C-alpha cells in the first residue's frame, strides 16, 4: 500500500471518530470509524507493499481525533489572559492555549498508537485462514482476533485514564453512546471503559467478514462463514436486552429529596477581580430564600446546592461568613451544600461544605482528584514544568477520605464530586454504601467559556449514575446544571426555554428519587475489573507470542470441497 494512502486512511479514521462526540453527536460514526485504520493494520491482501508502521498510523489517528475533540481546552489558557469570549486575546495566551491542546492530544494519542501496534503485532488475523479454512476454524480465528483487539482497546483506555499525572480518561469510545440509553445500561457491570469493547469488537468482526468475502469474490478462497459477525450481533443484542430490562424496572420505595440547584453564571475574569463579590453573595442568598424559606410553617426545599467556587472569598477568608450563613440558614429547614476553597495554614483545598442550621454545623469534603496543570503543577521545580510556576504559583492539596456527606432530613448520603471528579468512575465508586445515596457534582466550567466543553463534561459524567445506580444532580457555575436519574437520563436541565442556551444565570428546582435500598452494582463492588482483565489477557497474549517456539497463528487449512 502506498505510504501516503496509508497515512490518509489513519487520519481519516480519527476525523470520522470526532463526529461521534458532543458538538456533532453522530453516534453512528462510533461503529464505522475504525474501518480505514483496519484497512492499514489488517490488510486484505497480505504481503502487498511495505509493512505498515503500526504505532505511527495509530498515533496519527489519535492526533486527528484528539486535536479537534479537545480544542475547547485552549480556552483555559486564554481565560488566564482575560478572555471573556472567543475573540482574539493576544499572541501569548493564544499560543499557550494551542500548546495545551496539542500537548494533551500528543499524550492521549500515544494510547491509540499502542493499540495499533498491539493489534497489528498480536491480533492481526491471517487472511488465508479467514477465507480458505473450514467455517469452524475461520470463525474461531476471526473471533480471537476481534476479541484481542477489543480487549486491547479497553486496556488502553484504562491506561490512559490512570497513568501519567493521574491520567485523562475523557471521551472513551462508549461516551459517544451517551444518548443511547439502552446500550449504556451495562456500565453498571463493566464500567464506561468496558462498554468500549462492543464497538471495537463489532467493527473488527465486520472487517474480517469483509476480508473473507472480498477474497472469495477474487477467487482467493471459498469460506463464506458469517458466524463470527453473527456472534457479534448476538453480543450487541444481549447488551441491548440487558438495557431494556434495566430501563423497565420500577421502584416504589424511594426517598424524595426536594433539591434546588443554583447557577450564578459568573465569568472567571469577574471572579478574580472580586468586584462582583457583593452582588454574587446577594444573588445566592436571594435565590436560596426565594425557594427554601419556610412559609406558613412549611419548608419547600430539603437541599440547596451552590456550584464549585460559588463563594467569592474562601470560607475562612472573610469574618462576615459566619453571620451571612447563620442568617441564611435560619430562614428554613434546609441543608446547603456549596463549593469553596479552604485554606488552613500552608495547605489549601478545593472543597465542598454541607451546612445545616448554622455556620458551625458543617461537614467538609476535600477534593481528592486534582487536575494537573490546573490545581497542581507536576514536577514543579524541574524544567520545563518549572516554567509554568508563574501561571500556577501554588498547589492545592488533595483530600484523603472518600466519605459521603450526610443529610439530616431526609436521611440520605451525598456522594460529593467536585469538578472533573464526576468523570472518574474509580473514585466515585469508593463512596458507594448500602444506604440511600445521591451523587452531587459541583463544578465551575467557566474556564472554557461558551464552548462545547459543558456538553462533553455532562456526557462523561452521566455514566456515574449508571455505574453506581445512584441519582445524580449537577450544579454548575456556567452550565450544565441538571438532574440525572439512575439510568443516566437527564430528566431536567437549566436552559433558556426558547433558544436552549445553557449559559444563563438562574436556578433549577426538582425532586430527586433516591433508592431506599440501592443495589451495590458489580462496578461499585469491583471497579474496573473488566478493563484489568483485558489488560492481563493482552499481556499474556503478548508473552505467549514472544516465548512460543513457533508462530501462534493458525496455518492455512485446505478448504473442503
Residue 118 has pLDDT above 50, yes or no: yes
Question: What is the percent of the chain with per-residue pLDDT over 90, rounded to a whole number?
Answer: 84
Higher-pLDDT residue of 550 and 434 is 434
User: Cβ contacts of residue 218 below 8 Å, gap of 6+?
Assistant: none
Q: What is the pLDDT of residue 555?
A: 47
CA distance 328 to 392: 34
CA distance readout (Å), 463 to 52, 119, 405: 36, 28, 21
Q: CA-CA distances (angstroms) from residue 284 to 264, 271, 333, 417?
A: 7, 14, 17, 21
DSSP per-residue letters across 402-457: ---EE-SSS--EEEEEEGGGGG-HHHHGGG--SS-EEEEEEE-GGGGTTSTHHHHH
Q: For residues 554 and 137, is the Cβ–Cβ distance under 8 A?
A: yes
CA-CA-CA-CA torsion sign (22, 27, 29, 32): positive
Report which of residues 45 and 59 the model is more confident about.
59
Is 48's pLDDT higher than 80?
no
Beta carbons within 8 Å of 22's beta carbon, 6+ residues apart = 452, 455, 456, 459
H/E segment holding residue 109 = helix 91-118
- Say which range, 47-51, 296-300, 416-420, 513-517, has the weakest mean pLDDT: 47-51
Distance CA 332, CA 206 (A): 60
Average pLDDT over residues 350-361: 97
What would the mean pLDDT of 77-88 be, rounded to a whole number?
92
User: Stretch 494-511: mean pLDDT, rounded?
Assistant: 96
What is residue 521's predicted lDDT score, i.e. its pLDDT? 98
Average pLDDT taken over every residue of the chain: 93
Q: What is the pLDDT of residue 315?
A: 95
pTM of the full predicted structure? 0.94
- Looking at residue 554, what is its pLDDT? 43
The sign of the CA dihedral 237, 243, 248, 249 is positive
Rounded to whole angstroms, the Cα distance separating 540 from 554 reads: 18
Q: How far apart are CA 514 and CA 226, in angstroms?
A: 46
Question: Which CATH fold would you assign to the domain 254-371+390-516?
Answer: Nitrilase/N-carbamoyl-D-aminoacid amidohydrolase (3.60.110)
Q: Contact 106/63 with Cβ under 8 angstroms?
A: yes
Q: List, as one string, the DSSP characters of 172-238.
A: -GGGGGTT-HHHHTTHHHHHHHHHTHHHHHHHHHHHHHHHHHHHHHTTS------HHHHHHHHHHHH
Average pLDDT, integer, range 422-430 = 97
Q: How confident is the model at residue 71 (pLDDT cuts 50, 70, 90)?
A: very high
Predicted confidence band of residue 560 (pLDDT cuts 50, 70, 90): very low
Annotate 117-149 with DSSP letters as a single string.
HHIIIII---HHHHHHS-HHHHHHHHHHHHHHH
Does residue 551 have a pLDDT over 80?
no
Cβ pair 350, 338 in contact under 8 A: no
Query: Minimal CA–CA distance to 354: which of 286, 411, 305, 397?
Result: 305
Taking the C-alpha atoms of residue 95 and residue 77, their distance in angstroms, rounded to an integer, is 9
Overall average pLDDT of the 444-466 stretch: 97
Q: Quick one: pLDDT at residue 166?
A: 86
- Checking if the pLDDT of 113 tops 80, the result is yes
Range with the poorest average pLDDT among 171-175, 261-265, 376-380: 376-380
61-65, 162-166, 426-430, 545-549: least confidently modelled range: 545-549
Query: Among 477, 480, 435, 437, which Cα is nearest to 461's?
Result: 480
Cα 98 off chain centre by: 22
Instruction: Give the torsion sign (CA, 218, 223, 229, 230).
Output: positive
Distinct helix (H) and strand (E) counts, the chain: 20, 12
392: region left, alpha or beta (phi > 0 left; psi from -120 to 50 alpha): beta
Sequence ranges of the chain with CATH classification 3.60.110.10: 254-371+390-516
Between 308 and 389, name the one with better pLDDT: 308
Q: What is the mean pLDDT of residues 82-88?
A: 92
- When pLDDT is averaged across residues 216-222 and rounded to a whole number, the result is 88
Q: What is the Cα 427 distance to its own chain's centre?
A: 12
What tens digit of pLDDT does each residue of 432-454 get?
A: 999 999 999 999 999 999 999 99
Instruction: Identify the band that residue 381 occupies on the pLDDT scale cut at 50, 70 and 90.
Output: confident
Neighbours of 311 (CB within 10 A): 23
CB of 477 within 8 A of CB of 307?
A: yes
**Cα Rg, the chain, nearest whole Å:** 26
**149 against 48, higher pLDDT:** 149
- A 10 A CB-CB count for 495 gives 18
Peptide linkage before 522 cis (omega within 30 of 0): no
The continuous run of DSSP H or E covering 476 comes out as: strand 472-476
Provide mean pLDDT across the span 62-87: 95
What are 18's three cell numbers?
A: 470526532
CA distance readout (Å), 500 to 95, 489, 496, 503 = 32, 18, 5, 9
Amino acid at each position: 500500500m502506498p505510504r501516503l494512502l496509508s497515512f490518509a486512511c489513519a487520519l481519516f479514521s480519527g476525523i470520522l471518530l470526532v463526529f461521534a462526540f458532543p458538538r456533532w453527536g453522530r453516534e453512528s460514526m462510533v461503529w464505522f470509524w475504525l474501518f480505514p485504520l483496519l484497512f492499514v493494520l489488517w490488510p486484505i491482501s497480505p504481503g502487498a507493499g511495505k509493512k505498515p508502521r503500526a504505532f505511527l498510523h495509530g498515533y496519527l489517528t489519535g492526533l486527528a481525533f484528539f486535536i479537534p475533540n479537545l480544542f475547547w481546552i485552549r480556552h483555559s489558557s486564554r481565560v488566564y489572559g482575560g478572555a471573556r469570549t472567543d475573540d482574539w486575546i493576544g499572541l501569548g495566551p493564544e499560543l499557550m492555549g494551542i500548546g495545551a491542546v496539542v500537548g494533551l492530544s500528543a499524550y492521549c494519542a500515544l494510547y491509540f498508537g499502542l493499540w495499533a501496534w498491539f493489534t497489528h503485532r498480536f491480533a492481526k488475523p491471517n487472511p488465508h485462514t479467514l477465507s480458505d479454512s473450514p467455517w469452524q476454524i475461520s470463525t474461531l480465528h476471526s473471533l480471537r482476533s476481534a476479541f484481542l483487539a477489543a480487549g486491547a482497546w479497553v486496556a488502553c483506555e484504562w491506561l490512559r485514564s490512570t497513568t501519567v499525572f493521574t491520567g485523562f480518561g475523557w471521551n472513551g469510545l462508549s461516551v459517544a453512546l451517551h444518548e443511547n440509553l439502552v446500550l449504556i445500561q451495562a456500565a453498571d457491570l463493566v464500567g464506561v471503559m468496558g462498554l468500549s469493547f462492543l464497538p471495537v469488537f463489532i467493527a473488527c468482526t465486520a472487517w474480517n467478514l469483509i476480508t473473507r468475502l472480498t477474497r472469495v469474490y477474487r477467487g482467493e478462497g471459498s469460506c463464506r462463514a458469517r458466524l463470527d459477525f453473527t456472534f457479534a450481533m448476538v453480543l450487541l443484542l444481549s447488551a441491548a436486552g440487558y438495557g431494556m430490562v434495566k430501563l423497565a424496572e420500577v421502584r416504589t420505595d424511594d426517598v424524595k429529596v426536594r433539591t434546588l440547584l443554583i447557577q450564578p453564571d459568573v465569568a472567571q475574569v469577574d471572579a478574580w477581580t472580586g468586584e462582583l463579590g457583593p452582588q454574587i453573595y446577594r444573588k445566592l442568598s436571594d435565590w436560596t430564600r426565594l425557594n427554601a424559606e419556610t412559609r406558613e410553617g412549611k419548608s419547600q426545599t430539603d437541599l440547596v446546592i451552590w456550584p464549585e467556587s460559588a463563594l467569592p472569598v474562601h470560607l475562612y477568608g472573610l469574618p462576615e461568613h459566619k453571620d451571612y450563613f447563620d442568617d441564611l440558614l435560619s430562614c428554613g429547614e434546609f441543608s446547603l451544600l456549596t463549593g469553596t476553597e479552604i485554606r488552613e495554614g500552608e495547605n489549601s483545598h478545593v472543597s465542598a461544605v454541607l451546612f445545616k442550621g448554622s455556620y458551625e454545623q458543617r461537614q467538609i469534603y476535600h477534593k481528592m482528584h486534582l487536575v494537573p496543570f490546573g490545581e497542581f503543577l507536576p514536577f514543579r521545580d524541574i524544567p520545563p514544568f518549572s516554567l509554568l510556576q508563574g501561571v500556577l504559583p501554588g498547589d492545592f492539596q488533595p483530600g484523603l477520605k472518600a466519605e459521603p456527606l450526610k443529610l439530616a432530613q431526609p436521611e440520605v448520603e451525598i456522594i460529593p464530586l467536585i469538578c472533573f471528579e464526576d468523570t472518574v468512575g474509580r473514585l466515585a465508586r469508593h463512596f458507594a454504601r448500602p444506604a440511600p445515596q445521591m451523587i452531587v457534582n459541583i463544578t465551575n466550567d467557566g474556564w472554557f467559556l461558551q464552548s462545547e466543553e459543558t456538553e462533553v463534561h455532562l456526557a462523561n459524567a452521566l455514566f456515574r449514575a449508571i455505574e453506581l445506580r445512584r441519582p445524580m444532580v449537577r450544579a454548575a457555575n456556567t452550565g450544565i446544571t441538571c438532574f440525572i436519574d439512575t439510568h443516566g437520563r437527564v430528566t431536567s436541565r437549566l436552559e433558556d426555554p426558547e433558544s436552549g442556551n445553557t449559559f444563563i444565570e438562574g436556578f433549577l428546582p426538582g425532586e430527586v428519587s433516591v433508592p431506599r435500598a440501592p443495589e451495590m452494582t458489580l462496578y461499585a463492588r469491583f471497579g474496573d475489573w473488566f478493563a484489568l482483565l483485558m489488560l492481563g489477557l493482552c499481556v499474556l497474549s503478548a508473552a505467549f507470542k514472544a516465548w512460543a517456539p513457533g508462530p501462534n497463528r493458525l496455518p492455512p487449512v485446505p478448504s473442503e470441497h
